[in-house]
Amino acid sequence: MTDQSTAPDQGTNGTAGEGFLSIRGLTKRYAGFTAVDNFDLEVPKGELVAFLGPSGCGKTTSLRMIAGLVPATAGRIVVGGQDLTTVETHRRDMGLVFQSYALFPHMSIARNVAFGLEMRKVPKDEIARRVREAIALVHLTGKEEHKPAQLSGGQQQRVALARALVIRPSILLLDEPLSNLDAKLRDEMRNEIRDIQKSLGITAIFVTHDQGEALTMCDKVVVMNEGRLEQVGTPVDLYERPKTAFVASFVGRTNRLKAVAKDGAAEFAGQRVPAPAGLSGPVQVMIRPHRIALSPSTGSEGVTGTIARAIFSGDILQYDVDVGGQIVSVELATRGGETVLAPGTQVSLSWRPQDIFVYGAAA
Amino acid sequence: MNLSTKLTIAALLMSGVSTQVLAQQQTVTVMAYAGLFQERYTKAVVEPFMKANPGIKVEYFPMPNSAQMLGTLRAQKAAPQADVVIMDVSVSKAATDEKLFNKIDEKVSKNVADLYPNARIPDVDGVAVTFDNLVMLYNGDTVKDAPKSWMDLAKPEYKGKVAIPGMPDIQGLSLVLIMDKARGGTDYLQNVDKGITALGEIAPNVQTWEPKPEVYPVIISGQAVIGAGWNARAQVNADTSGGKLKTVLPQEGSVFQINTINYVANGPGKDAGAKFIDYALSPEAQKAFTESMFYAPTNAKAQISEAAIARTAVKSMDKVIPVDWIALAKVRDPIMEQWRRKVIPLSR
Amino acid sequence: MSAATALAPALPPRRSRLGLIVALLAPIALINAIGFLAPVLNLARMSFYEVEPTGAMREVYTLATWAKMVTDSFYAELIVNSVSVSLGITLLTLVCSYPIALYLHRSTGTWKTILLVLVISPLLTSAVVRTYGWIAILSDSGLVNNSLGALGLPPQRMMFNLTGVTIGLTEILMPYMILALLAGFGRLDPRIEEAASTLGAPPFTIFRRIILPLTLPGIALGCLLCFVLAVSSFITPKLLGGGRVFLLATEIYDQAIVTLNWPLAATLSILVLVIFGGALVLYTRALRAIL
């Protein structure tokens, strides 16, 4: 498989246009509820795209529709110009890695990895070579004749990865592949998956509920909520320019504050912040804790509040500040030598205008 | 008189009465066939006996077949629970050899002197209490012309309609003996080749060699239309089926099946057992049971009604082929072997 | 937490725990000794007793019955016949039960409960009653032959022969087979089948390469159970065999109840036990090979 080194197509990185994987109007309705609603996505060749959202948001259902394991109610799935919407799973040529590994328990590691090649009637000696390479790629050389049950969770997931990659699938689908692993293994596997995907230049979709995984690993992140696509963008886009309150709160940590909007501005604790046109009435104001500056002096610019709680956790010094009855969390990177302000201390908070987001209260 | 005084008197009376009864009461346990036999024998023999002997209570202990009676006797050899057993003569011989019985002779019952000679079997401790014989059975609704010969079972119109309880059941064995004699066989203890050949001719017509639960309902229901069975049960079934089941004693004749009555050694009822045996062999008991279930009597002095005697083999004794069941037991295995090799394969 | 602290002092020291194990095992060991071991030993002893042609049994030891077993080819035929008929019935039962068990394994909720009750419900009726049910269906004037007649087809002899025994026993054994299969389907996982599908395996290949191997423990268990039950069943062969089907169990019945040759019945019973032992060894071997 190492000889497959198609360079990732960097041309249409991002928004509209023909992707390698093109999903249009994909919908899945069950009796009484819609799991996935009118999902549109273009994925350029070689990109790693995350489907991110809380459980039940439709990300796994979308992935399973792409794999053909769940029939779509409506919409089209096109890969490399070929419409696969009604093609059976076993003819779709996709590699799928499951959260539960789903290795064949009765087969050795080598037989597991060889399975897809046998299905493709690849000659025996070629199977042997490619299996050897795939097992080497996931650092499991020497474990060929082991049964899955004899391996650790992380090793099993590597076998699953090798099994999916060895067939050189058009798309690699990863369904929460790290969720069953412990924290240390998860970090290791995260890098490994990213490196392998990059080196093979394979187009991949990575389903996760962990925003950290999505932001650190993926070229592009699709945030989903309640069956709908909230926002598609690079990790930076999502973090710095969240389009909806859901994205703002799901991606990264944020303060979620109540305010009232009027005439294109929201008023919060006596300070007016610009709000999107058309908003009026109750709104949500969001600001990330570490984008807030805190000074002990009172009366200067910014809003005034009282420290309700101070939490020192080494890297970070967090203050929960009571501002007009609402708690605003402020995070300061510690530099050493600072004095921790006692609860009850009056402080003033300030921020840059671009760090504040205002959304309708309904969101 | 207040309540407690009444109760005290009642209690005293009852205890006095019951100890009196207990002192006199003896119990005889009779082990014999279940089902129809139990029903008829209880009415015809057991109940009249208890009426005549109010001090003796008879417990009827029903068993499905003679072999299980022997099994029970063997298991209880150290402490028998039965006093009297009615079973097939060949099983009775086995029990005799295992010394499970007391010899029944004139000292046990003076009625023994009045039994037919063939009711006293050499080397068997019991004596015959009933005679039965093999008869041909047919469904009167389907079979219009009464069959006359056992070989009518081989007629093409009865293809797949014949029910015969085959060997090792003695009904199948009886049929082999009857046909062997009819075809010129002289000594069934030497060989029964002719009988086996005859059964081989009937075999292709046979629907089942194992009619269940019994051959009679199978023919009454029309599942099979013709076959072989025991006379006594057939007569009762003929009555209860409203004439659907008909019987005939074919020209080749028949053989007797003998049930013996046996006196269990060291039974719990002691002499009461002998009393019951004496009654069972008496002319009146023999008459009552024959008139109830059409087993031929074993007591020559029994005065049976014409109607009942006509339905037994008593009037056709010339047709009854004598069989020494005890001697036959020695050659049963080789006959069974021939049955398996030469009869069954022809009926597939 | 509170439960743990409450339990901790209750755990007895090692030695009295051994006593506890013995005490807990004693009842079942005793019941087995009385209810199984003693009768089997008694049977073994009885197989060496001398028997007279009349059926009279003497407590004198002899090898005559065992010698007869070895020399009379009928018994070899009987064993071969019994084992092969039972194997055939077991196989047929497996083929009929497997799809049902698989479907049952995959159904969920109330539907699964309903189906499971339907599968188990025949066990609430005695085999005798169910066999008479088959007589009503298979007899010359039964359901099947009447239907054949209505279609203008010739009647078929479907009972009082091996066909009837096979049909009847297969149906009677199916609930046991289905339950055993279900018990052995633990390794089946829809994700594994999906994985095979994404790797390019068409449905039948998934069945052959994934489902079948993963369900082998259930198949082995079900086959062992049904084989043992088939070899030892005598009511159905008696009722549906019409005296034409000779099996070990029916022969044991005949020898014990009709011919009164208890030593021969005992010898045949020991033989059946030996066959069961062989089946158990095969099962253990098969299981070790599968897992």
The partner residue sitting opposite C242, judged by closest CB among B97, B168, B209, is B209
The radius of gyration of chain B from alpha carbons, rounded to an integer in Å, stands at 23
Nearest chain A alpha carbon to C187: A105
According to CATH, the superfamily of the domain at B132-255+320-347 is Periplasmic binding protein-like II (3.40.190.10)
Contacts of C202 in chain A (CB under 8 A): 88, 90
Task: Look at the block and give the residue holding tokens 């009426």.
Answer: B51
Least Cα separation, residue B210 to chain C (angstroms): 5
Least Cα separation, residue B165 to chain C (angstroms): 9
What are the C-alpha distances in Å from C168 to residues C85, C89, C95, C111, C255?
A: 13, 10, 15, 27, 24
pLDDT value of position A18: 63
Q: Six-digit token pair at A20?
A: 């390698």
pLDDT value of position A55: 87
CA–CA dist C149, C140 (Å, integer): 10
- pLDDT-based confidence at C12, cuts 50/70/90? low
Contact of A90 with A114, CB cutoff 8 Å = no
Contacts of B97 in chain C (CB under 8 A): 52, 54, 56
Q: Which amino acid is at A324?
A: G
pLDDT value of position B280: 92
Q: What is the pLDDT of residues C84-136, one digit of tens each?
A: 999 999 999 999 999 999 999 988 889 999 999 999 888 888 888 888 888 88
Least Cα separation, residue C266 to chain B (angstroms): 13
> Helix, strand, or coil here: A40?
strand
Q: Do A181 and A43 reside in the same domain of the chain?
A: yes
- What's the CATH code of the domain at A192? 3.40.50.300
Contact of A247 with A266, CB cutoff 8 Å = no
B271 touches chain C (CB under 8 A): no
Contacts of C250 in chain B (CB under 8 A): none
Least Cα separation, residue C260 to chain B (angstroms): 6
B205 touches chain C (CB under 8 A): no
Q: Do A190 and A113 reside in the same domain of the chain?
A: yes
Least Cα separation, residue B37 to chain C (angstroms): 19
A121 touches chain C (CB under 8 A): no
C10 belongs to a structural domain: no
Least Cα separation, residue C182 to chain A (angstroms): 18
Contact of A138 with A103, CB cutoff 8 Å = no
Q: Which residues of chain A have pLDDT under 70?
A: 1-18, 269, 277, 298-301, 362-363
Bond before B213 cis per omega within 30 degrees: yes
A10 belongs to a structural domain: no
B270 touches chain C (CB under 8 A): no
Q: Which of A42, A70, A47 is nearest to A58 (CA)?
A: A70
Cα first-last separation, chain C: 38
Q: Do A220 and A335 reside in the same domain of the chain?
A: no
Residue C68 has pLDDT above 70, yes or no: yes
Given a contact as 3+ CB pairs under 8 Å, which chains touch C?
A, B
Question: Which of A245, A264, A283 is the last residue in one of the domains?
Answer: A245
How many CB contacts within 8 angstroms connect chain A with chain C?
Answer: 69
Residue C114 half-sphere exposure toward CB, CA atoms < 13 A: 5
C223 belongs to a structural domain: yes
A36 touches chain C (CB under 8 A): no
Per the structure, the complete domain to which residue C81 belongs is given by 72-290
CB contact (8 A) between residue C191 and residue A98 = yes
Contact of A359 with A284, CB cutoff 8 Å = yes
C214 belongs to a structural domain: yes
Q: Which amino acid is at A330?
A: V
Q: Do A222 and A258 reside in the same domain of the chain?
A: no
> Helix, strand, or coil here: A359?
strand
CB contact (8 A) between residue C242 and residue B210 = yes
Burial (CB count within 10 angstroms: exposed 0-12, middle 13-18, buried 19+), residue B307: exposed
**Share in percent of chain C as helix, strand, coil (round to 5):** 80, 5, 20
Q: What is the pLDDT of residues B237-267, one digit of tens each?
A: 988 888 888 899 999 989 999 999 999 998 8
C208 touches chain B (CB under 8 A): no
pLDDT value of position B18: 47
- What's the CATH code of the domain at A273? 2.40.50.140
CB contact (8 A) between residue B90 and residue C54 = yes
What are the C-alpha distances in Å from A223 to residues A56, A200, A208, A350, C99?
A: 13, 26, 10, 30, 42
CA–CA dist C267, B215 (Å, integer): 31
Contact of B312 with B296, CB cutoff 8 Å = yes
- What's the CATH code of the domain at C199? 1.10.3720.10
Q: Do A161 and A94 reside in the same domain of the chain?
A: yes
Contact of A334 with A311, CB cutoff 8 Å = no
Q: Do A179 and A203 reside in the same domain of the chain?
A: yes
The partner residue sitting opposite A105, judged by closest CB among C187, C199, C202, is C187
Contact of B276 with B49, CB cutoff 8 Å = yes
A105 touches chain C (CB under 8 A): yes
Domain-by-domain residue ranges, chain B?
26-130+257-309, 132-255+320-347
CA–CA dist A50, A215 (Å, integer): 8
C228 belongs to a structural domain: yes
Q: Do A115 and A233 reside in the same domain of the chain?
A: yes
Nearest chain A alpha carbon to C213: A106
Cα angle A318, A324, A325 (rounded to 5 degrees) comes to 75
Q: What is the pLDDT of residues A339-358, one digit of tens each?
A: 888 888 888 888 887 888 88
CB contact (8 A) between residue C246 and residue B340 = yes
Cα angle B327, B267, B110 (rounded to 5 degrees) comes to 65
C208 touches chain A (CB under 8 A): no
Q: Six-digit token pair at C203?
A: 């449905």
CB contact (8 A) between residue C258 and residue B344 = no
Instruction: Say whether the A–C interface has 3 or more Cβ pairs within 8 Å.
Output: yes
Q: Do A138 and A229 reside in the same domain of the chain?
A: yes
Look at chain A and report how many structural domains it folds into.
2
Task: Look at the block and give the residue holding tokens 């995350």.
Answer: A50
3-class secondary structure for chain B?
CCHHHHHHHHHHHHHHHHHHHHHHCEEEEEEEECCHHHHHHHHHHHHHHHHHCCCEEEEEEEECCHHHHHHHHHHCCCCCCCCEEEEEHHHHHHHHHCCCEECCCCCCCHHHHHECHHHCCCCCCCEEEEEEEEEEEEECCCCCCCCCCHHHHHCHHHCCCEECCCCCCHHHHHHHHHHHHHCCCCCCCCCCHHHHHHHHHHHHHEEECCCCCCHHHHHHCCCCCEEEEEHHHHHHHHHHCCCCEEEECCCCCEEEEEEEEEEECCCCCCHHHHHHHHHHCCHHHHHHHHHHHCCECCECCCCCCHHHHCCCCHHHHHHEECCCHHHHHHHHHHHHHHHHHHHHHHHC
B273 touches chain C (CB under 8 A): no
Contact of B135 with B251, CB cutoff 8 Å = no
CA–CA dist B36, B233 (Å, integer): 8
Across all residues in chain C, what is the average pLDDT?
A: 86
Q: Do A236 and A269 reside in the same domain of the chain?
A: no
CA–CA dist C67, C56 (Å, integer): 19
User: Which DSSP string corresponds to A268-331?
Assistant: ETTEEEE--TT--EEEEEEE-GGG-EEES--SSSSEEEEEEEEEE-SSEEEEEEEETTEEEEEE
Nearest chain C alpha carbon to A90: C200
A316 touches chain C (CB under 8 A): no
CB contact (8 A) between residue B209 and residue C243 = yes
Contact of C282 with C90, CB cutoff 8 Å = no
Task: Look at the block and give the residue holding tokens 């099962």.
Answer: C283
Residue C157 has pLDDT above 50, yes or no: yes
Per the structure, the complete domain to which residue A150 belongs is given by 21-245
Q: What are the start-end ranges of the E strands in chain A? A: 21-30, 33-43, 48-52, 74-79, 82-83, 94-97, 171-175, 203-208, 220-225, 228-233, 255-262, 265-268, 271-274, 281-287, 293-295, 303-312, 316-323, 326-333, 346-350, 356-360
CB contact (8 A) between residue B207 and residue C160 = yes
Contacts of B90 in chain C (CB under 8 A): 54-55, 260
CA–CA dist C234, C82 (Å, integer): 11
Q: Which residues of chain B have pLDDT under 50?
A: 1, 12-14, 16-22
B26-130+257-309: in CATH 3.40.50.300? no
C261 belongs to a structural domain: yes
Q: How many CB atoms lie within 10 A of CB C126?
A: 10
- pLDDT-based confidence at C11, cuts 50/70/90? low
B302 touches chain C (CB under 8 A): no
Q: Which of B71, B70, B86 is nearest to B31 (CA)?
A: B86
Contact of A119 with A90, CB cutoff 8 Å = yes
The partner residue sitting opposite A90, judged by closest CB among C189, C201, C210, is C201
Q: Do A318 and A237 reside in the same domain of the chain?
A: no
C186 touches chain A (CB under 8 A): no
Q: Do A72 and A218 reside in the same domain of the chain?
A: yes
Look at chain C and report how many structural domains it folds into.
1
CA–CA dist C194, A64 (Å, integer): 10
CB contact (8 A) between residue B337 and residue C74 = yes
B208 touches chain C (CB under 8 A): yes
CA–CA dist B82, B71 (Å, integer): 12
Least Cα separation, residue C246 to chain B (angstroms): 9
pLDDT value of position C84: 93
pLDDT value of position C143: 85
Contact of B5 with B35, CB cutoff 8 Å = no
CB contact (8 A) between residue C254 and residue B344 = no
Residue A75 half-sphere exposure toward CB, CA atoms < 13 A: 23
Q: Do A118 and A238 reside in the same domain of the chain?
A: yes
The partner residue sitting opposite A119, judged by closest CB among C187, C194, C201, is C201
Given a contact as 3+ CB pairs under 8 Å, which chains touch B?
C
CB contact (8 A) between residue C244 and residue B348 = yes
Instruction: Say whether the B–C interface has 3 or more Cβ pairs within 8 Å.
Output: yes
C48 belongs to a structural domain: no
Least Cα separation, residue C197 to chain A (angstroms): 5
The partner residue sitting opposite C199, judged by closest CB among A88, A105, A119, is A119
